[in-house]
Amino acid sequence: MMEFWDVLRGRHSVRDFKDDLVPRARVERLIEAASLAPSAWNAQPWRFYVVSGETRRAMGRLIAQTTIHLSEFMDILGPERYEQTVAWYSSLGNASTLVAVVSKASDEPLERLNRDLALGAAIENLLLAAVAENLGACNITYSHWVEDEIAELLGLEDDEVVVTVVALGWPTDIPPASPQHNPDIAVWLD
């Protein structure tokens, strides 16, 4: 069992996976970890759609469509990063499993804030549990240009939204050490 701080320091966004399927029992442990996240009034505003096989391939094709919109970001990304980004969205790193994080839509600001905070905590729990299970994961900040198509593929209700998709699988290699993080982020007041 990994130590807590090793899990935190070991979390990286993995973008290259072996195509071996992740056993269901491992994914169930990740979902359990996500479900342990705090939420306002214990609302637990999440639902996790785990997709593999043909559904994973279909979702991958949908997410790959976002690459047609990336040309708008060419100036920001630069040519090398643009090509890397297009390649990533086209294959999702060959991850065998995708986890769509879904929640109810909300127009009420406080409800949406509470929901988003809870979802962020649940997603982070899932990502950290992946490290503890020796899996790789990448929270895909995919474009919402295809959210309706993904919702249709998953059979979501009209009031449900896909918040994010996490690529999950066995990493092809262990990523390098985490990039340097800014240590000057706290303001101390007496």
The total domain count for the chain is 1
How many CA atoms lie within 13 Å of 12's alpha carbon, on the beta-carbon side? 16
Residue 181 belongs to a domain: no
CATH number at residue 97: 3.40.109.10
Q: What pLDDT, in 10s, does the model give residues 107-127?
A: 999 999 999 999 999 999 999
Q: Is 151 a domain residue? A: yes
* pTM of the predicted protein model: 0.92
Question: Cα separation of 94 and 91, whole Å?
Answer: 5
pLDDT, tens digit (0-9, with 9 covering 90-100), for 42-63: 999 999 999 999 999 999 999 9
On whether residue 95 sits in a domain, the answer given is: yes
Q: Is 75 part of a structural domain of the chain?
A: yes
Q: Is residue 149 part of a domain?
A: yes
- As given in the structure block, the two tokens for residue 141 are 């900040």
Domain annotation covers residue 188: no
- Assigned domain for 182 exists: no
What H or E segment, with its residue span, contains residue 186?
none
**Which range of residues forms the domain containing residue 123?**
13-169
